[in-house]
Structure 1
Amino acid sequence: MTDEQHDKVAEIIKSTRIAMMTQADATGRLVSRPMATQDVDFTGTVWFIAERDTEKVRDLQANPQVNLAYAGDGSWVSLSGTARVVDDRAKLEELWGTFTGAWMEGGPDNPDNILIEVTGDTAEYWDAPGGGKVVQLVNLVKSAVTGKRVEGDNETVDL
């Protein structure tokens, strides 16, 4: 994988921030939940904050395989990897912010607040030319008129 591909995946994740995390529940059924990305240290690791006593965390401990889907303004990333629950107060304090405090109780000192670390194995990204909704609409109309598909970047990246 090139540095450019790595940087592109990190850029899309950082600009999007909210991921849909898909995982298997206790019955093996796939479920997706929105998660706010706290940090991307892009060696392929993404961090989230969650509450320990939840189905999501229990399911991750039983089956740590996940997919994170990010959909932004003309760009998308699908990152597949392995999740693990991390009990690290210092890292939790480092990542805690006002947004987190609005959704979770007790701050980083609450023992029920934990970290989820997702280590990516592969990522696939799509990047529409020019990005933005207006550009996407223009490309859609251009495609309809010319009969040619819209070209964009689509790359699969091993992490």
Structure 2
Amino acid sequence: MADEPLSAADAEKEFWKHLKDSNTGMLGIDTPGYHAQPMTAHREEETGTIWFFTRDDTDLAKDAGVGGGQSAMFHYGSKDQNTWACIHGELSVHGKDREIVDRYWNPVLAAWYPGGKDDPNLTILRFDADDGRVWVSKGGLVKFAFEIARANLTGTIPDAGGVADVNLQ
């Protein structure tokens, strides 16, 4: 395993840093049989809030609105595959919020909403992250290949990095 333990603070820092750089993950209601779906996350590190844009006629938007919010999970893997996370939180429908729309609007979002920022079906989901687990591995593919080769030659376990539980509240 890792030579140095991964602290919760370092794991959280790595999660937020990587989420800023590549912000797509899988989001779903935390209930048996519910399938997560790819969603683009817009982070608000200082509050632990993650915003998701969606259409108000999607299953996810409808389900998130039941009872004022639902327990949910956001699964994330960084583009460089060095940081992975499973984050738990509360998912609710925030609705239309022009300040958030203006802050995060970009050409990729625009493609999903023919009516632009005023599209009648545009809604925002609010994910209030509370806790999770983050895995961090440094060194990339070369280090990974070395660790696999070393483990196979020596009969040991490869150093795959560290893991830490985080509190994002």
Question: Structure 2 length as normaliser, TM-score?
Answer: 0.81
Q: For 1:112, which of 105, 121, 128 is the aligned residue? A: 121
Q: For 2:13, which of 7, 20, 45 is the aligned residue? A: 7
Following the alignment from structure 2 to structure 1, what is the Cα–Cα distance between the partners of residues 91 and 142? 36
Bigger shift: 57-66 or 135-144? 135-144
Could you report, residue by residue, the CA deviation over 1:79-136 in whole angstroms, capped at 9, with x for unpaired residues?
1000111121221121110111123322211121111110111021101132x23332
Q: For 2:84, which of 76, 87, 93 is the aligned residue? A: 76
Q: Answer yes or no: is 1:60 the counterpart of 2:61.
A: no
Q: For 1:101, which of 110, 114, 118 is the aligned residue? A: 110
Root mean square deviation, CA, Å? 2.1
Distance 1:84 1:126, change over 3 A: same
Following the alignment from structure 1 to structure 2, what is the Cα–Cα distance between the partners of residues 91 and 38? 10
Following the alignment from structure 1 to structure 2, what is the Cα–Cα distance between the partners of residues 134 and 100? 35
Q: Identical aligned pairs, as a percentage? A: 22
Following the alignment from structure 1 to structure 2, what is the Cα–Cα distance between the partners of residues 85 and 9? 24
Q: For 1:22, which of 28, 35, 40 is the aligned residue? A: 28
Following the alignment from structure 2 to structure 1, what is the Cα–Cα distance between the partners of residues 164 and 30? 26
Q: Which stretches of structure 1, 4 residues or more, deviate above 4 A after TM superposition?
A: none
Following the alignment from structure 1 to structure 2, what is the Cα–Cα distance between the partners of residues 114 and 85? 7
| Structure 1: segments with no counterpart, 5+ residues | none
C-alpha displacement of 1:145: 1.8
**Given residue 111 of structure 1, which amino acid in structure 2 is its aligned partner?**
P
Question: Structure 1 length as normaliser, TM-score?
Answer: 0.86
Following the alignment from structure 1 to structure 2, what is the Cα–Cα distance between the partners of residues 3 and 84? 27
Cα contact 2:9–2:166 (8 A) shared by 1: no
Cα contact 2:83–2:134 (8 A) shared by 1: yes
Following the alignment from structure 1 to structure 2, what is the Cα–Cα distance between the partners of residues 145 and 129? 22
Cα contact 2:40–2:52 (8 A) shared by 1: yes
Following the alignment from structure 1 to structure 2, what is the Cα–Cα distance between the partners of residues 68 and 22? 7
Q: Specify the alignment match of 2:132 in structure 1.
A: 123
Could you report, residue by residue, the CA deviation over 1:9-31 in whole angstroms, capped at 9, with x for unpaired residues?
21232233111012157xx6221
Cα contact 2:25–2:39 (8 A) shared by 1: yes
**SS at the partner of 2:158?**
coil
Q: Specify the alignment match of 2:4 in structure 1.
A: none
| Structure 2: segments with no counterpart, 5+ residues | 1-6
